[in-house]
Structure 1
Amino acid sequence: MASSVAFPHDFAFDPAYGYDAPEALLGIPAPPAPDGFDAFWQDRCARARAVDTRPVLGPVEEERDGVRIHGVTYTSVGGVRLGGWLALPEGPVRYGFVVGHGYGGRQEPGRDLPAPLPGAAVILPCVRGMGERGRVDGIPDLAAEHVLQGIGSRDTYVIGDCAADLWCAASALTALVPELAEAGLPGGPRLGYLGESFGGGLGALALPWDDRFGAAQLTVPTFGNHPLRLTLPCAGSGEAVRAHHREHPEVTDVLGYFDAATAATRLTLPTLVAAALFDPSVPPPGQFAVHNAVAGERELQVLTAGHFAYRGMVAEAAELDANRTRFFGERLRAV
């Protein structure tokens, strides 16, 4: 593994956080689960899976990379109506994917297409509050405000509802694509999940409880090891949480239920984690904590940097794309 690279930067802190090699990062643990952690998430997942998502497929908005891209809307928990995109292959559907987005939302399908595998149907949801198609009254769309929405209680924290939006997106996908309706049943196909940054952290929180998924890729995942994150300055949403914690230290009790590394200790499906050595927005120690905690089969690709432009990033992205295709091809069951 490569050593950390000290990039010239204007941040008032070290985006490598003093870790000069992956070996040190590989020793960062997950915090212990708070009381009732499993029951809390199992109940949330069961309630989300019971939602009648009533998906509506819109007209084709774009055709490229061998897929037809439609607008899509569906219902999530609390009766919230959300939007996004559904990409359908020109030929038969053989795989299904749910793709989470980063903080700030998704304004278009963008570089998350094409899918890792040919013949994949891909839903790209906008979780509540994020992006034009995820707008919900009363939920701010700025990351620094969104990450604090309802943070006073584990039952009202928006991050839990965002995880539910992913479960409901999976339900919408399987409702719209009958070939995938057996996902999660013995012998049936399993869905793949892709998530980067915010979407990576949400994936770690959501996936342990949903048997419809068979493999996942989490890239520079956030929300890992909150007790450690609270000590690390950053340029991302974590800084808003740190500021809030200074005024409301009791929030640590709530954050314990939304720790991606803690959740990863329950994550048994094969997981590819891409974690960065240098990242001003999502501190690398938290990213590696998620990888280190994965309970099942795991693979690691070390990135030189995340949320930061650097020489060589195009080549590293291409390498990650190739690894992703191999990884899902070896582990997902085709229809």
Structure 2
Amino acid sequence: MSRFDLPLDELRAYRSASPEPEDFDAFWAKTLDEARSHALDARFERVEAHLATVEVYDVTFAGFGGHPVKGWFVIPAGAREPLPVVVEFLGYGGGRGLPHAHLLWASAGFAHFVMDTRGQGSGWAVGDTPDPVGSAPSYPGFLTRGIEDPDAFFYRRVFTDAVRAVEAARSHPLADAARTAVIGESQGGGITLAVAGLVPDLAAIAPDVPFLCDFPRATTITDRNPYREVAAYLKTHRGSAERVAGTLAYFDGVHFAARGTAPALFSTALEDLTCPPSTVFAAFNAYAHEDKAIEVYDFNDHEGGGVFQQAVQLRWLPGRLTA
């Protein structure tokens, strides 16, 4: 694979042309107010995961519409004092999987909350959270579900679940709410940016190769799914492009980034055909907080930095979560 996007010096200066809806903040305030009209009802049930170094809790909380959303809460074994919290969001198509897949952050001394993604969990990892809300006709996948109406769009539910996940994580007595970070890769990175724009008191965020950014460019520069789902939908639904663009503008990571108030560590890969680097830089360059950095992986596709990026996070995050 060769480089296909802008040169790195142009990426560092690139700005998205994604239009921000005039009622962007009002739309999200109304959405979250509606969600909070339902009791959070966060329940943590200890489970035997046969792991000696961590304790695992099966979590259920009320997300969008009061719908039950699952998660894992993993803490170092024997923890008795409140810990800094890492809330993680997952990549496209995957679910929360099994507890032993989530050992890194508890091993580093953090409380780790993993949110299951509603309606997914059948791709690369199993999930346990259905999406009880139907949608209008959509192209196979998730990116076009309800895409002609911001109120019905799939990611309205997911982003709301994610804000409620932070609230659920912070409700546990062993979570230090003032030291909360949110992280995620690909779709999880896009969700991370949404939460960064909707939750004003986070301590840090770390979106890796984030999806759901700079939709006007992303949906036209790559032929790879998930962004290609939008083009496939529009190929059939002729004349819907303006309505679709209007919906996506409410969910663009660029606009959430412009509202970010926490230190941020991004990553991108210059040969990434799934989440092209210009779309990642669009969000990074728009990110509002001055304490921000981006790791660039020159010869990688959507796998990005992988374990190398995790090592960077392990060095970077503790300094942002000090007591």
Higher relative contact order (CA 8 A, sep 6+): 1
The equivalent residue for 2:60 is 73
User: Equivalents in 2 of 1:65, 1:274: separation in Å?
Assistant: 32
* 1:301 alignment partner, one of 275, 295, 299: 295
CA deviations on 1:209-246 (whole Å, 9 max, x unpaired) are: 21342100000001111111121233221100122234
The equivalent residue for 2:94 is 105
Distance 1:44-1:65 versus aligned 2 partners, 3 A rule: farther
Aligned amino acid, residue 237 of structure 1: P
Aligned amino acid, residue 162 of structure 1: V
User: Equivalents in 2 of 1:48, 1:333: separation in Å?
Assistant: 31
Aligned amino acid, residue 249 of structure 1: A
The equivalent residue for 1:149 is 145
User: Equivalents in 1 of 2:180, 2:35: separation in Å?
Assistant: 17
| Superposed CA RMSD | 2.5
Q: CA deviation at 1:95?
A: 0.7
The equivalent residue for 1:186 is none
The equivalent residue for 1:240 is 229
Distance 1:206-1:67 versus aligned 2 partners, 3 A rule: same
Q: CA deviation at 1:269?
A: 1.0
* 1:205 alignment partner, one of 194, 199, 204: 194
What does 1:243-262 align with in structure 2 at a 5 Å threshold?
243-246=232-235, 247=238, 248-250=240-242, 251-262=244-255
Q: CA deviation at 1:317?
A: 3.2
User: Equivalents in 1 of 2:140, 2:119: separation in Å?
Assistant: 12
The equivalent residue for 2:218 is 229
The equivalent residue for 1:10 is none
User: Equivalents in 1 of 2:234, 2:275: separation in Å?
Assistant: 17
The equivalent residue for 1:279 is 272
Aligned length: 306
Q: Does 1:23 align with 2:9?
A: yes
The equivalent residue for 2:161 is 165
Aligned amino acid, residue 292 of structure 2: R
Q: CA deviation at 1:319?
A: 3.2
TM-score, with length taken from structure 2 = 0.86
Distance 1:261-1:143 versus aligned 2 partners, 3 A rule: farther
Residue ranges of structure 1 left out of the alignment (5+ in a row): 1-5, 8-15, 184-188
Q: Does 1:130 align with 2:154?
A: no
User: Equivalents in 1 of 2:52, 2:129: separation in Å?
Assistant: 25
Conservation of the 8 A alpha-carbon contact between 2:139 and 2:232: no
CA deviations on 1:183-229 (whole Å, 9 max, x unpaired) are: 3xxxxx23110111011111112221213421000000011111111
User: Equivalents in 2 of 1:213, 1:51: separation in Å?
Assistant: 23
Conservation of the 8 A alpha-carbon contact between 1:275 and 1:301: yes
Conservation of the 8 A alpha-carbon contact between 1:220 and 1:306: no
Q: CA deviation at 1:76?
A: 1.0
Q: Does 1:263 align with 2:256?
A: yes
User: Equivalents in 1 of 2:218, 2:99: separation in Å?
Assistant: 30
User: Equivalents in 2 of 1:306, 1:68: separation in Å?
Assistant: 35
Conservation of the 8 A alpha-carbon contact between 2:5 and 2:278: no
Q: Percent of pairs identical after alignment? A: 27
User: Equivalents in 2 of 1:300, 1:108: separation in Å?
Assistant: 30
User: Equivalents in 2 of 1:274, 1:27: separation in Å?
Assistant: 16
Conservation of the 8 A alpha-carbon contact between 1:117 and 1:329: no
The equivalent residue for 2:24 is 37
Q: CA deviation at 1:306?
A: 3.5
* 1:95 alignment partner, one of 70, 84, 91: 84
Which of 232-241 and 316-325 deviates more? Answer: 316-325
Conservation of the 8 A alpha-carbon contact between 2:163 and 2:198: no
Conservation of the 8 A alpha-carbon contact between 1:45 and 1:209: no
Conservation of the 8 A alpha-carbon contact between 2:76 and 2:109: yes
The equivalent residue for 1:3 is none
User: Equivalents in 1 of 2:119, 2:93: separation in Å?
Assistant: 9
What does 1:286-325 align with in structure 2 at a 5 Å threshold?
286-296=279-289, 297-303=291-297, 304-308=299-303, 316-325=305-314
Conservation of the 8 A alpha-carbon contact between 1:99 and 1:112: no
Q: CA deviation at 1:116?
A: 7.4
Aligned amino acid, residue 165 of structure 1: D
